[in-house]
């Protein structure tokens, strides 16, 4: 973990020029004070301009950096609500107990000192009882194989890229439980919401204004393999290619044109939202006769994007500058352009964070074979999967 900063260190968050000049004049009232702008003790900045600075901080991690300048800044600038893990108490299916629905913001973050290491997961707020050294506020515990203790990483030393929110049902012991998805009941967000619980062979729905579970009838007799939200709708992917979209009020059902899977070789399918821009379906295909030692090289993918207007899937060989990550913490997408010089991560590629070993590679489209294939251009070592996914990319 990086050495904690002292209160007199300068911050990367700088006030507007007029505020800077004003603070300099106040600090220069003492005859012995001869400071340059780089030597200013920002802890002496008056509260009024500090409130103005607080109002102009849009990015949640700019707020975290500003709060880390000193204790006075920390007391005035509130912790960003976006980073807080929101929790809701929901009844069990039989109404005899309760579960906890947790909303977690997911991020991709990279320590500046470890150019090839990436971490994917949620970032938690450090509680006072953890007694972390000042100025830590955001950190993540990363379990690295071979290490006796989890590494506590100071998030102030990381480049951080917001991805999306993930929901988890803590304590859920429902038979066949796989995942949960949540949407607000109004387009503006906030207020009442609806929860869809995927128990594989059945979908259960709960509205926050009713607080009781109902069985949701679909047109498929197969188990549900994946469940996501996209553009204000739920999308459920069922085994053998059935996909349905439905609004949070469940007044309309949107059956999509059936996606014909390769039943002889198909291994798994996943839905991957890319913000509100695209929804991708990724089919992982492997021959049942593949040798175990050559398992990864035998894999190939078929990738489709959803044509919302036509209600059908369109096979694609290019996903732009995106990197799709499919694995234990859910499926996410981010832009490789956001990473300085790529940092070893290639655009137009797909990465699985689970498999038979801790070493994997990304998938890229092969024009000669006309499919997405395992590429050894980027070797990826999975350092750990809990509580966050830790990756090391080597070229």
pLDDT tens digit sequence for 6-25: 333 333 333 333 333 333 33
Of the chain, the percentage scoring pLDDT greater than 70 comes to 70
- Mean pLDDT calculated for residue range 149-163: 69
- Mean pLDDT calculated for residue range 220-246: 88
For residue 251, give every residue at least 6 positions away whose Cβ sits within 8 Å of its Cβ, in sequence order, or none.
Answer: none
Tell me the C-alpha distance between 328 and 385, whole Å: 7
pLDDT of residue 138: 59
pLDDT of residue 233: 92
pLDDT for 1 beyond 50: no
User: Hey, which of 63-67, 88-92, 357-361 has the most confident mean pLDDT?
Assistant: 88-92
The model's confidence at residue 344, banded by pLDDT at 50, 70 and 90, is low
pLDDT of residue 208: 92
The answer to whether 254 touches 242, Cβ cutoff 8 Å, is no
pLDDT for 301 beyond 70: yes
pLDDT for 220 beyond 70: yes
pLDDT of residue 124: 61
pLDDT for 213 beyond 90: yes
Could you give the 3-state DSSP secondary structure of residue 267? strand
Tokens of 133: 């050294």
Could you give the 3-state DSSP secondary structure of residue 182? strand
- Mean pLDDT calculated for residue range 225-240: 90
For residue 276, give every residue at least 6 positions away whose Cβ sits within 8 Å of its Cβ, in sequence order, or none.
Answer: 230, 231
- Mean pLDDT calculated for residue range 300-326: 91
pLDDT for 145 beyond 90: no
| Average pLDDT over the chain, rounded to an integer | 75
Lowest-confidence pick of 177-186, 206-215, 219-228, 303-312:
219-228
pLDDT of residue 139: 58
The model's confidence at residue 65, banded by pLDDT at 50, 70 and 90, is confident
More confident residue, 95 or 156: 95
Sort 278 into a burial class: Cβ within 10 Å, 0-12 / 13-18 / 19+: middle
More confident residue, 100 or 296: 100
Could you give the 3-state DSSP secondary structure of residue 55? helix
pLDDT of residue 143: 60
More confident residue, 82 or 231: 231
The answer to whether 138 touches 68, Cβ cutoff 8 Å, is no
Question: Model's pTM, two decimal places?
Answer: 0.77
pLDDT of residue 180: 94
pLDDT of residue 279: 96
The model's confidence at residue 371, banded by pLDDT at 50, 70 and 90, is confident
Of the chain, the percentage scoring pLDDT greater than 90 comes to 23
pLDDT for 271 beyond 80: yes
CB atoms within 10 A of CB 127: 8
Tell me the C-alpha distance between 87 and 182, whole Å: 13
- Mean pLDDT calculated for residue range 130-137: 52
| CA angle (18, 22, 28) in 5-degree steps | 145
pLDDT of residue 92: 95
pLDDT for 353 beyond 80: yes
pLDDT of residue 9: 36
pLDDT for 123 beyond 70: no
């Amino acid at each position: 973990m990086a050495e904690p900063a002292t209160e007199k260190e300068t911050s990367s968050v700088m006030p507007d020029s007029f505020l800077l000049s004003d603070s300099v004049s106040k600090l220069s009232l003492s005859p012995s004070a001869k400071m340059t702008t780089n030597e200013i003790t920002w802890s002496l900045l008056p509260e009024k301009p500090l409130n103005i600075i607080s109002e102009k901080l849009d990015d949640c991690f700019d707020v975290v950096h500003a709060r880390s300048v000193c204790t006075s800044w920390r007391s005035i600038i509130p912790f960003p609500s976006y980073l807080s893990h929101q929790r809701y108490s929901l009844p069990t299916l039989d109404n005899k107990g309760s579960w906890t629905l947790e909303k977690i913001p997911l991020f991709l973050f990279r320590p500046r000192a470890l150019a090839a290491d990436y971490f994917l997961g949620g970032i938690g707020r450090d509680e006072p009882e953890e007694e972390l050294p000042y100025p830590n506020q955001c950190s993540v515990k990363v379990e690295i194989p071979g290490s006796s203790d989890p590494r506590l990483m100071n998030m102030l030393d990381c480049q951080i890229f917001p991805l999306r929110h993930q929901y988890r049902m803590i304590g859920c012991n429902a038979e066949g439980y796989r995942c949960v998805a949540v949407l607000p009941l109004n387009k503006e967000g906030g207020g009442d919401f609806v929860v869809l619980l995927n128990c594989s062979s059945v979908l259960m729905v709960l509205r926050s204004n009713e607080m009781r579970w109902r069985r949701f009838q679909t047109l498929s007799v197969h188990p549900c393999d994946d469940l996501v939200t996209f553009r204000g709708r739920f999308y459920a992917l069922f085994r053998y290619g059935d996909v349905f979209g439905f609004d949070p009020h469940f007044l309309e059902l949107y059956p999509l044109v059936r996606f014909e899977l390769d039943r002889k070789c198909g291994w798994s399918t996943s839905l991957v939202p890319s913000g509100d821009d695209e929804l991708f379906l990724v089919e992982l295909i492997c021959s049942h006769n593949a040798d175990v030692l050559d398992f990864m090289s035998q894999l190939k993918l078929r990738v489709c994007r959803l044509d919302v207007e036509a209600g059908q899937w369109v096979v694609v060989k290019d996903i732009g500058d995106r990197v799709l990550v499919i694995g234990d913490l859910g499926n996410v997408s981010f832009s490789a352009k956001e990473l300085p010089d790529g940092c070893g991560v290639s655009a137009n590629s797909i990465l699985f964070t689970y498999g038979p070993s801790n070493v994997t590679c990304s998938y890229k489209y092969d024009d000669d074979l006309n499919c997405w294939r395992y590429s050894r251009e980027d070797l990826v070592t999975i350092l750990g999967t809990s509580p966050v996914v830790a990756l090391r990319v080597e070229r």
